[in-house]
Structure 1
């Protein structure tokens, strides 16, 4: 009974998952990695194949520093996404990631979170893990760093998956400075409240 009571009193730190879409996109992805490293936090990066080809060293750094990589299509095409024609984009991006890093990811997030039944069937058949989110930071909408931070902190709970962006729709050199600015105070607050920022396992 005493042993059971001690186990019940043992503190369990709540886990949360920060995710970054549409990159890598320099210099912002590297800045985000620097901040995560400083705070000892882990995250998951859902990368676009086109951007991986452009910044292969950054993708390798993501993995080297203990973060996870997910497939976010090759071109982030709205037409292909909404028509459900992502199979070739998924396979192409997987091959690019594997060629550069030696790792084959089974994590997938569709652009805009839009996954048609046909693509869902394909992903299930090929043993992909579809990763959604429950907290949208709205950093993609150009809001301020303070708005990004406050919006996340109002909704955060154990097990939350937070949607952030280090890039924009597989384009290069898109401004994500507000996301970068929001990250240090956000992490400081989360860690002070006992949250552990983990990556999503492959």
Structure 2
């Protein structure tokens, strides 16, 4: 009887350990950070070394007064043309992370992004949570969107990737890195994806300006009228404060190409 009880206890213990110990590489993370303000970069905690381990990045050089504009486009609300007009007028580069839905519905805007000199990044064809997807589904999803982008533009490669809803884990970082994508996160963002919420351009302006810092990658959503109305003011004020606008390709170059 004692032997049976012992075996039952061992079995229960092993089951408990197996159920509770989700492999570290499969644990899901929702990207976030602790804001610092006063032109100081936020504290990313353990996210920073994890992202860097798989050759991703979340900001440029924190000692250089340069910032990087990025936009996430899941669907169109009529503001992207205005944003593109402003970027062209102000001569500011940007990266647009697109979903497959957006590319299908707005091919002319997608063409214009590239024709105006901007970069298009992959934001998942189906806006999938890669932490819950199989490796084969991830590969298929990435390939499907890349092919759509190449179909409508003369951008022959899609190098940058931003996970849908900022959800990732070590498995998804490893897979995308192995496929040659660079995961791009951010250090300036706020709740701006609700198209029915209009707080005025000053709200968006203040949110960015209080968080901005040297090297900041700024994430904005194009469904926000506040963002479209604030963009010209943001560009002018940041330049007034001594900031330059760079392309995320600059970060990649600085990070991986040695100086001789």
TM-score (norm. length: structure 1) = 0.81
- Per the TM alignment, residue 26 of structure 1 is displaced from its structure 2 partner at its CA by 5.0
Which string of whole-angstrom CA distances, capped at 9 and with x for unpartnered residues, describes residues 54-91 of structure 1? 111111111111111100011224xx445134332211
1:200 — aligned with what?
Answer: 248
1:83 — aligned with what?
Answer: 132
Give yes or no for contact 1:48–1:73 (8 Å, CA) kept in 2. yes
Give yes or no for contact 1:70–1:108 (8 Å, CA) kept in 2. yes
- Per the TM alignment, residue 118 of structure 1 is displaced from its structure 2 partner at its CA by 2.3
1:131 — aligned with what?
Answer: 184
1:146 counterpart = 2:196: no
1:122 — aligned with what?
Answer: 175
Deviates more, 1:24-33 or 1:92-101: 24-33
The count of corresponding residues between Structure 1 and Structure 2 is: 181
Give yes or no for contact 2:97–2:161 (8 Å, CA) kept in 1. yes
Give the structure, 1 or 2, with the largest relative contact order (CA under 8 Å, sep 6 or more). 1
2:37 — aligned with what?
Answer: none
Bigger radius of gyration, 1 or 2? 2
Over the aligned positions, Cα root-mean-square deviation in angstroms equals 2.0
Return the match for 1:94 from 131, 146, 149: 146
1:186 counterpart = 2:234: yes
Give yes or no for contact 1:15–1:159 (8 Å, CA) kept in 2. yes
In structure 2, relative to structure 1, the CA distance for the partners of 1:187 and 1:67 (3 Å cut) is same
Give yes or no for contact 2:84–2:113 (8 Å, CA) kept in 1. yes
Q: Distance in 2 between matches of 1:27 and 1:196?
A: 28
- Per the TM alignment, residue 137 of structure 1 is displaced from its structure 2 partner at its CA by 3.0
Gaps of 5+ in 1: 1-11, 168-175
2:212 — aligned with what?
Answer: 156
Q: Distance in 2 between matches of 1:83 and 1:107?
A: 21
Return the match for 2:105 from 54, 62, 78: 54
- Per the TM alignment, residue 197 of structure 1 is displaced from its structure 2 partner at its CA by 1.7
Give yes or no for contact 1:47–1:73 (8 Å, CA) kept in 2. yes
- Secondary structure (helix, strand or coil) at the match of 1:140 reads coil
Gaps of 5+ in 2: 1-62, 253-260
- Per the TM alignment, residue 116 of structure 1 is displaced from its structure 2 partner at its CA by 2.6
